[in-house]
């Protein structure tokens, strides 16, 4: 009974927020455009939150997701421009894309260059995840410390790549704005990633072992699970998700910014926790995380529509996080 | 013998044995004043009546033992005494005065101290700091702690009761037995007049337990009232002045210890006569299944060789720290073998990790089921199938329905009491949690099973079932290594007993040709 309440609360809050905003701002909130907008904006955070869910279920944490997102985007965009025949050391790449064609304009990557660039970005994200996973499992360091380090280091690399300047890829629009069968590509990717992850957590051994490791790492080890290998996989797969999210982000802003994803990790962890995952591991679901992500997105969107400043939004979201976790704790202590 | 009922407090009523009865002056009829009396305590949790009309009393300067299977209501009763729970009805009287405990601090203030199975000690503080935790004496300068006062006070207190502990030792460095003594000192510092010990010996070696008994007896001699909870009936009988047996939330029997023997206590606990505590052995030993040759490990094992035949249950005795668990860990691939060989069914195998061991169909039921055994918040079914997904043909895709069915079948086979295979492992009692792990290794079709203290902290009925399961496994032709600190069960169940001392194997004896004294002597006495 109480477990049911616990599971329903995040979803109920989401419904209440959506209904409330619909009532308050029927003309601006309750429009197809606004919903598409909110969903596409959630896709970047959401895809990363899916990976973070697995990490948190395994009893870990990844603070470096924002930095990895920036770096993967930079690598992806750099590859596109390089393949388009530009000079990698040229400063021209960072000029705004709206200046007229001519000598001052960056090269425009071809479709093939963009495809390879996308793969390169995803590969870079994957590598970041692998490095985290390898350090955490092989050196037996706490994930918090390792990813605190990589958070800083990866961000640094992203800045160094073009001296703190972005790479502009004016024509790279498909992932961010494109549509496929009438739906935004980025939203479809988000849905696909979420479904795959949910199925994997439920029906694949790695998913099962993720729960077991998070619940009791020693017990998992004594049950013959290769804990190190599982952890490397979990962080690497999250890296894949970060890479995908990075390319969507790059496409949405038609540029790779070294400052992309600053404090993204907090939003993502908040979404996972609101969705009912336990930071001590062993508990969490993809569905919960998606609800958590949408909750934060709609809240942001609603605040904006209601004319609440972004500064005040921070306060509201902070309060929601604490409230969500305390309600969860309360329900848990009642059940036991 | 009629079970004592709650209204039998009037001295006029005939009672069995020497039940705790007091007259109107709060004096026991035998003249000893009553330190604690719990009258007609009832407590209900939702639909479960945990305690009904429990009446229980402890005389000053005596040890009163509380027995009962898991779930009989012992912990609930003690938590009420500690102020953790509030009773639905009934009253608590300390030295004849009625007291109500709203919070645990009230119980402490009334002189009731609890020493739980999992000790409440700060590992990184010293003995003295733990003893004075929360009541540190002031130091010379304002806002400082009088470290020296604390240490000398602790030493004085220890000396007064004849305990041997260094007040400056870090608690984390102390053996378990000393930690218990630190807890006792904490209680003494608080001027406790009643100490409750909950399963104090479950993680102690035989020697440490003996030492604890001396401590408990010296507390009794100085007029302390002691409630002692234990599953180990031998020690109960040796130690207690009075014994109360709880069953299904009621007092099934209460009498002086001298009028009860172990079979009688067991009978009251389970409500039926256990004709034989240890089930009969039928398995006949076959070929050698496990052969360990010259095993040494980084954890101090030196040159250990033994073998276990199919269908044979081989016990392993030794004091805590003798290296018994280390043998299991080395064979199961948790610790590295630095030298030596392991042969299974005549073939040499290399085991470098638990995964290798499981692939070789070796099972290890660890001694600490919450730390190294179960994923407590996960469903029972998941816990059973955890190492078996591959052999169940689910290496690629897990089929939850088939998984549940397999788990349910195992549950039925060894009669696990649960609300279903989907229930979290936490919802099960200790004995049933242990069965969950046994089900796991049954499902793994292991040819060699290592049971490390499988009956620790589980009740009498569950113990008997565990012995029965070991027998069944042996009859199926599996080889079993049974590590235990309880000699009676080693003698009741095994064919042979290996004795460990300080990392070496010092004895390999046929159970039928040896005696507990001999095993104890080998385990405890240094010879060359």
Tens digit of each residue's pLDDT (9 = 90 or more) over A144-195: 999 999 999 999 999 999 888 888 888 898 888 888 888 889 999 999 999 9
End-to-end CA distance of chain A: 12
Q: Which of A124-133, B183-192, B354-363 has the lowest mean pLDDT?
A: B183-192
Backbone dihedral region for residue B291 (phi beyond 0: left; psi -120 to 50: alpha; all else: beta): beta
**Quick one: closest CA in A to B395, which residue?**
A205
**Quick one: closest CA in A to B388, which residue?**
A223
Q: What is the pLDDT, as a whole number, of residue B527?
A: 58
Do residue B386 and residue A220 have CB atoms under 8 angstroms apart?
yes
CA of A13 to nearest chain B CA: how many angstroms apart? 26
Q: Is A203 on the interface with B (CB under 8 A)?
A: yes
Q: Spell out which residues of chain B touch residue A223, defining contact as CB-CB under 8 Å.
A: 354, 358, 386-387, 440
For B167-190, what is the mean pLDDT? 88
The string of pLDDT tens digits covering residues B436-486 is 999 999 999 999 999 999 988 777 788 888 999 999 999 999 999 999 987
Q: Spell out which residues of chain A touch residue B396, defining contact as CB-CB under 8 Å.
A: 204-205
Q: Is A333 on the interface with B (CB under 8 A)?
A: no
Do residue B375 and residue A226 have CB atoms under 8 angstroms apart?
no
Domain range for A126: 2-335
Q: What is the pLDDT, as a whole number, of residue B200?
A: 84
For A292-314, what is the mean pLDDT? 88
As a CATH number, domain B1-8+18-111+227-273 is 3.40.50.300
The string of pLDDT tens digits covering residues A36-67 is 889 988 999 999 999 999 999 999 999 999 99
- The domain made up of B276-361+446-528 has a fold known as Rossmann fold (3.40.50)
Out of A211, A224, A283, whose CB is closest to B387?
A224
Q: Which of A42-56, B110-124, B349-363, B429-443 has the lowest mean pLDDT?
A: B110-124
How much of chain B exceeds pLDDT 90, in percent? 46
The string of pLDDT tens digits covering residues B368-380 is 888 899 999 999 9
Domain ranges of chain B: 1-8+18-111+227-273, 276-361+446-528, 377-445
Backbone dihedral region for residue B301 (phi beyond 0: left; psi -120 to 50: alpha; all else: beta): beta
The span from the CA of B472 to the CA of B480, in Å, is 11
Checking if the pLDDT of B260 tops 80, the result is yes
**Quick one: closest CA in B to A225, which residue?**
B355
DSSP A245-307: HHHHHHHHTTEE-TTTTTTHHHHHHHHHHHTT--TTSS---HHHHHHHHHHHHHHHHHHHHTT
Q: What is the pLDDT, as a whole number, of residue B46?
A: 67
Q: Which of A1-5, B248-252, B365-369, B487-491 has the lowest mean pLDDT?
A: A1-5
Q: What is the pLDDT, as a whole number, of residue B272?
A: 55
Q: Spell out which residues of chain B touch residue A225, defining contact as CB-CB under 8 Å.
A: 355, 386-387
Q: What is the pLDDT, as a whole number, of residue A88?
A: 52
The span from the CA of A208 to the CA of A282, in Å, is 10
Out of B358, B372, B398, whose CB is closest to A218?
B372
Do residue B374 and residue A204 have CB atoms under 8 angstroms apart?
no
Out of B334, B353, B395, whose CB is closest to A205?
B395
Q: What is the pLDDT, as a whole number, of residue B479?
A: 95
**Quick one: closest CA in A to B332, which residue?**
A222
The string of pLDDT tens digits covering residues B261-312 is 887 887 787 765 544 577 777 777 889 999 999 999 988 899 999 999 999 9
Q: Spell out which residues of chain B touch residue A216, defining contact as CB-CB under 8 Å.
A: 371, 374-376
Q: What is the pLDDT, as a whole number, of residue B274?
A: 47
The string of pLDDT tens digits covering residues B32-52 is 789 999 999 999 876 667 898
Closest CA to A209 of A189, A192, A223: A223
Higher pLDDT, A188 or B13: A188
Surface of A (213-252) touching B: CB under 8 A: 215-216, 218-226
The phi and psi torsions of B292 (rounded to 5 degrees) equal -105, 125
Torsion of CA A6, A12, A16, A17, to 10 degrees: 80
Which residues have a Cβ under 8 Å from the Cβ of A191 and sit 6 or more positions away? none
Instruction: Output the average pLDDT for chain B.
Output: 85
Closest CA to B394 of A234, A213, A203, A225: A203
Domain total in chain A: 1
Do residue B377 and residue A215 have CB atoms under 8 angstroms apart?
yes
Q: What is the pLDDT, as a whole number, of residue B417?
A: 86
**Quick one: closest CA in B to A223, which residue?**
B387
For A313-321, what is the mean pLDDT? 84
Domains B1-8+18-111+227-273 and B276-361+446-528 equal at CATH topology level:
yes
For B75-92, what is the mean pLDDT? 90
Q: What is the pLDDT, as a whole number, of residue A98?
A: 53
Higher pLDDT, B221 or A88: B221
Q: Is A199 on the interface with B (CB under 8 A)?
A: no
What tokens appear for B459 in the block? 């009740």
CATH code assigned at A81: 1.10.3470
Residue B115 CB burial class (10 angstroms; 0-12, 13-18, ≥19): buried
The span from the CA of A146 to the CA of B327, in Å, is 35
What tokens appear for A29 in the block? 């909130």
């Amino acid at each position: 009974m109480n477990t049911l309440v616990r599971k329903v609360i995040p979803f109920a809050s989401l419904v209440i927020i959506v209904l409330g905003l619909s009532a308050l701002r029927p003309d601006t909130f309750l429009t197809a455009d606004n919903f598409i907008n909110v969903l596409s904006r959630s896709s970047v955070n959401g895809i990363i939150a899916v990976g973070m869910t697995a990490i948190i279920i395994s009893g870990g944490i990844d603070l470096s997701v924002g930095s990895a997102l920036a770096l993967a985007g930079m690598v992806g965009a750099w590859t596109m421009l390089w393949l388009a025949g530009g000079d990698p050391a040229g400063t021209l790449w960072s000029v705004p894309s709206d200046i007229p064609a001519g000598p001052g304009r960056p090269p425009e990557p071809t479709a093939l260059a963009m495809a390879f660039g996308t793969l390169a970005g995803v590969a870079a994200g994957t590598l970041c995840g692998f490095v985290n996973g390898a350090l955490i499992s092989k050196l037996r360091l706490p994930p918090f410390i390792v990813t605190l380090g990589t958070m800083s280091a990866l961000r640094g690399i992203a800045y160094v790549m073009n001296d703190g300047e972005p790479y502009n890829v004016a024509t790279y629009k498909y992932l961010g704005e494109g549509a496929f069968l009438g739906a935004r590509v980025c939203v479809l990717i988000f849905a696909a990633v979420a479904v795959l992850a949910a199925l994997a957590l439920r029906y694949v051994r790695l998913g099962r072992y993720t729960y077991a490791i998070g619940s009791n790492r020693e017990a998992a080890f004594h049950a013959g699970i290769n804990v190190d290998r599982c952890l490397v996989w979990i962080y690497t797969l999250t890296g894949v998700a970060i890479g995908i999210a990075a390319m969507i982000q790059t496409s949405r802003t038609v540029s790779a910014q070294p400052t992309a994803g600053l404090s993204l990790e907090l939003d993502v962890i908040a979404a996972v926790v609101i969705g009912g995952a336990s930071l001590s591991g062993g508990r969490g679901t993809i569905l919960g995380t998606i609800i958590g992500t949408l909750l934060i997105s709609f809240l942001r969107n609603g605040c904006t529509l209601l004319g609440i400043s972004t500064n005040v939004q921070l306060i509201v979201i902070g309060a929601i996080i604490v409230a969500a976790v305390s309600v969860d704790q309360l329900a848990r202590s009642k059940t036991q | 013998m009629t079970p004592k009922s709650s209204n039998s407090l009037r001295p006029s009523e005939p009672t069995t044995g020497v039940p705790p009865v007091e007259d109107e002056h709060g004096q026991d009829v035998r003249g000893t004043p009553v330190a604690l009396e719990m009258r007609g305590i009832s407590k209900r949790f939702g639909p479960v009546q945990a305690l009904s009309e429990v009446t229980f009393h402890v005389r000053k300067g005596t040890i009163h033992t509380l027995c009962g299977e898991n779930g009989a209501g012992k912990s609930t009763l003690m938590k009420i005494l500690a102020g953790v729970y509030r009773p639905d009805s009934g009253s608590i009287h300390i030295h004849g005065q009625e007291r109500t405990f709203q919070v645990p601090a009230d119980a402490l203030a009334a002189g009731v101290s609890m020493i739980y199975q999992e000790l409440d000690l700060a590992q990184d503080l010293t003995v003295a700091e733990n003893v004075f935790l929360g009541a540190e004496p002031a130091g010379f300068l304002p806002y400082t702690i009088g470290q020296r006062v604390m240490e000398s006070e602790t030493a004085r207190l220890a000396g007064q009761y004849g305990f041997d502990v260094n007040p400056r030792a870090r608690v984390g460095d102390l053996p378990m037995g000393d930690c218990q003594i630190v807890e006792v000192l904490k209680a003494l510092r608080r001027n406790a007049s009643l100490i409750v010990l909950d399963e104090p010996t479950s993680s102690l070696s035989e020697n440490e337990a003996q030492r604890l008994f001396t401590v408990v007896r010296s507390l009794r001699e100085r007029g302390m009232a002691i409630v002692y909870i234990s599953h180990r009936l031998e020690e109960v009988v040796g130690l207690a002045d009075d014994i109360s047996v709880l069953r299904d939330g009621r007092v099934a029997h209460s009498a002086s210890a001298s009028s009860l023997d172990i079979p009688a206590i067991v009978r009251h606990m389970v409500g039926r006569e256990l004709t034989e505590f240890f089930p009969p052995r039928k398995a006949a030993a076959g070929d050698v299944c496990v052969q360990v040759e010259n095993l040494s490990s980084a954890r101090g094992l030196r040159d250990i060789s033994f073998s276990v035949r199919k269908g044979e249950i081989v016990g392993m005795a030794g004091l805590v720290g003798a290296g018994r668990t280390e043998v299991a860990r080395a064979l199961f691939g948790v610790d590295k073998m630095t030298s030596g060989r392991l042969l299974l069914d005549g073939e040499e195998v290399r085991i470098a990790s638990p995964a290798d061991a499981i692939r070789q169909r070796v099972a290890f039921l660890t001694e600490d089921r919450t730390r190294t055994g179960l994923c407590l918040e996960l469903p029972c079914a998941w816990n059973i199938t955890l190492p078996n997904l591959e052999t169940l043909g689910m290496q690629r895709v897990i089929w939850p329905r088939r998984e549940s069915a397999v788990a349910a079948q195992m549950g039925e086979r060894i009669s696990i009491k649960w609300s279903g295979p989907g229930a979290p492992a936490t919802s099960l009692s200790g004995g049933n949690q242990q069965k969950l792990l046994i089900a796991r290794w049954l499902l793994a079709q292991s040819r060699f099973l290592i049971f490390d203290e499988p009956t620790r902290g589980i009740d009498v009925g569950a113990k008997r079932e565990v012995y029965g399961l070991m027998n069944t496994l042996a009859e199926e032709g599996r080889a079993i290594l049974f590590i235990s600190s309880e000699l009676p069960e080693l003698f009741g169940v095994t064919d042979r007993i290996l004795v460990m001392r300080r990392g070496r194997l010092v004895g390999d004896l046929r159970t039928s040709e040896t005696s507990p004294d001999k095993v104890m002597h080998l385990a405890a006495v240094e010879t060359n």
